[in-house]
Amino acid sequence: MKDIKVLIASDSFKGSASSMEVANALEKGILKVNNKIDFIKYSVADGGEGTLETIIEQTGGKYVELEVLGPLDKKVMARYGVVGEKVFIEMAQSSGLGLISNQERNPLITHTFGVGELINHALNKGFKDIYVGLGGSATNDGGMGMAKALGVKFLDVNSKELDLGAINLDKLFDIDISNINPRIKDASFTILSDVTNPLCGLNGASHIFAPQKGADTKMVIQLDALLKKYKTLVEALYEKDYSSLAGSGAAGGLGFGLLAFCSGRIVSGIDAVINLIELEKNMKYIDLVITGEGNMDNQSIQGKAPIGIAKLAKKYKKPVIAVVGGRSDDLRAIYENGVDLVIDIVNKPMSLDFAMENSIKLIELAGESAIRAYYLGK
């Protein structure tokens, strides 16, 4: 068999294996077929959970840890990353679903105050180049909590400051930004997102993402109405339409809040991560790219890691195999966007729990299948 160089860059399999654990399992499976293959392995993420770890792992940055208010008013330990003069904040660290139990999920009362505390800490340390990864949120407050932590006052008709949580936006009458952290105006905010949803409407934050955060149909309609009222006042204040921008609905509308209150700009999370970890510099020297994610369907083309990797690989005419935890029946859009073969790790009838508990071994077996498929075409 011909000795080749393989680049592995897979997203994590949420709840089962981290990005690097996936890469190591794939390598182990491939080596069963040819133990002379060279590997270049990257930990990657697309702006959601795992982005902070990915960037720090690949760049040799450092963590800063502090106590902040979690999504349900309980103190949590959260961290952000520092790479040179850049700061990387992952909203899930302070306001993520992983911080609350399934029974506690309620996007009417969860909030993003902790995200604002992380931003404040970085700003007050003198950092001016701030990246915020969106994804894995437990919230649907439009970034109201984040803004409140930064000094913005949300007032009712009697000029009383509102409590945290989207449910209180029903009483919103005025917004006072006179005490917002003054360091914001000298800072640059880059928002990393893997979705393009607007803030409101049937394709917005509430209708698309709130159900996974604990919202029933009635609550979804309520949340959307609350965000519409909120965005009307915010956009009147800044005389600019932010809510229709792609990605403004990410992380329960935190994208919208960062756009408005921090003058942020939203970019593709995976494209930014690829650039930050300098993945492209090795792409031209490899023979095969293996990527993957926990579940692949045609929505993956909206900004998920495997498609970003595949598009870069195709720039250099490299074959791409995606190893996935699950897949939809129709993957035409995936194959049209740079992936040549999708291999599902579920190789026999099994429960979801079994697949998750045995994901490392299953990924290893899929790695063996992937390299055999590559050699089949040679």
Domains belonging to the chain, first-starting first, are: 5-44+280-376 (3.40.50.10350), 51-270 (3.90.1510.10)
Is the confidence at residue 2, as pLDDT, over 80? no
* Residue whose entry in the numeric block shows the structure tokens 């049937």: 202
CA distance 79 to 77: 7
76 burial level (CB within 10 Å; 0-12, 13-18, 19+): middle
pLDDT tens-digit readout, 46-78: 888 889 999 998 899 999 999 999 999 999 999
Sheet with 320-327, edge to edge strand ranges: 38-43, 5-10, 288-296, 320-327, 341-344
The model carries a pTM of 0.91
Is the confidence at residue 378, as pLDDT, over 80? no
- HEC per residue, the chain: CCCCEEEEEECCECCCECHHHHHHHHHHHHHCCCCCCEEEEEECCCCCCCHHHHHHHHHCCEEEEEEEECCCCCEEEEEEEEECCEEEEECHHHHEHHHCCHHHCCCCCCCCHHHHHHHHHHHHCCCCEEEEECCCECCCCCCHHHHHHCCCEEECCCCCECCCCHHHHHHCCEEECCCCCHHHHHCEEEEEECCCCCCCCCCCHHHHHHHHHCCCHHHHHHHHHHHHHHHHHHHHHHCCCCCCCCCCCHHHHHHHHHHHHCCCEEEEHHHHHHHHCCCHHHHCCCCEEEEEEEEECHHHHHCCHHHHHHHHHHHCCCCEEEEEEEECCCCHHHHCCCCCEEEECCCCCCCHHHHHHCHHHHHHHHHHHHHHHHHHCC
CA distance 24 to 215: 37
Is the confidence at residue 7, as pLDDT, over 90? yes
Is the confidence at residue 3, as pLDDT, over 90? no
pLDDT score of 302: 75
- Written as six digits, the tokens of 255 are 């994208």
Band (323; pLDDT cuts 50, 70, 90): very high
Is the confidence at residue 1, as pLDDT, over 80? no
- Written as six digits, the tokens of 305 are 């890691």
pLDDT tens-digit readout, 193-245: 988 999 999 999 999 999 999 999 999 999 999 999 999 999 999 999 999 99
CA distance 264 to 142: 14
Taking each helix axis from N to C end, the angle separating 359-376 and 19-31, rounded to the nearest 10 degrees, works out to: 50
Strands 153-155 and 174-176: antiparallel
Mean pLDDT (the chain, rounded): 95
For residue 336, what are the contacts with CB-CB under 8 A and spacing of at least 6?
Answer: none
pLDDT score of 55: 93
pLDDT score of 190: 97
pLDDT tens-digit readout, 258-301: 999 999 999 999 999 999 999 999 998 999 999 999 999 877 77
Longest Cα separation, the chain: 77
pLDDT score of 14: 83
pLDDT score of 61: 95
Residue 164 exposure: Cα atoms within 13 Å on the Cβ side: 23
Is the confidence at residue 135, as pLDDT, over 90? no
